[in-house]
Amino acid sequence: MLLASMSRAYQNLEQQGKAEQKITESLEYLNNKGNQISSSEGLQTSVLVKVNQGKLLSDKYKKQAIKAYREAFNILINYPKETNPLKENQLLTSEDIELVHIALLGLINNENQLQFRQEIRDSLRKYLFGELEYFLKRQDWEEADKKTWKLMLFIANREKESSLDIPQVNNFPCSELKKIDDLWVENSGGKFGFSVQKKIWIKTGNRLGIKPSDWNNNDIEIIIISEPLLDGMPKKKNMGMK
């Protein structure tokens, strides 16, 4: 674990030579251990080493980088409990888990690997839902709100844009929206959620399903002055509404 941490530190300091040395030492250590690495700490260390290796190789050696990230991905898939960063005293972070998935998606663009790309997306989607549920159960509404937004951007393939415009909102999968809403409603005792906001919206005399071309001055004024609530509803400014 120390070697993997040192490699990461050197990468952050842009000392590639030293980072490569520590990666090599870490890989030799893992190879010597062979199949003996089965503990939670050992599995997490293996993931960190592979992630660091993938980072170093991604610019010049794409195939080797994919191999390293894929090995890390396989560990995450086969040992989800041991590598879960949401448990206490874990070596891996949520950023590490997301990096494995996002790096693979960025490196794999071959049409022959569409099935594997979908497998990666399904895995990350499952993790992001689990992450949202974790913070909801802890009643950390602010963090859960952030995770909701991240999850929705991922589902809509809008991570780069960091926004959901009206077309993306209209085409957002209903099943996914309901699942997010159910998590919020269930864990907040019915206080928060999309469906809760919908009831409040209607109760206060607002209209549903109107197109921007049909907005009147009252609709625009409501959208401008309304403050977003921490209830799983993305901030209106992020949804392209002004």
- The 10s digit of each residue's pLDDT in 54-110 is 998 888 899 999 999 999 999 999 999 999 999 988 989 999 999 999 999 999 988
| Segment 162-198, tens digit of pLDDT | 998 888 888 999 999 999 999 999 999 999 999 999 9
pTM score: 0.76
Q: What is the pLDDT of residue 213?
A: 76
Rounded to the nearest integer, the mean pLDDT of the chain is 81
Select the more confidently predicted residue: 230 or 128: 128
**3-state secondary structure string across the chain:** CHHHHHHHHHHHCCCHHHHHHHHHHHHHHHHHHHHHCCCHHHHHHHHHHHHHHHHHHCCCCHHHHHHHHHHHHHHHHHCCCCCCCCCCCCCCCHHHHHHHHHHHHHHCCCHHHHHHHHHHHHHHHHHHHHHHHHHHHCCCHHHHHHHHHHHHHHHCCCCCCCCCCHHHHHCCCHHHHHHHHHHHHHHCCCCCCHHHHHHHHHHCCCCCCCCHHHCCHHHHHHHHHCCCCCCCCCCHHHHCCC
Q: What is the pLDDT of residues 16-55, one digit of tens each?
A: 555 555 555 555 555 555 555 558 888 998 999 899 889 9
Segment 134-147, tens digit of pLDDT: 999 999 999 999 99
- Identify the residue with better confidence: 131 or 209: 131
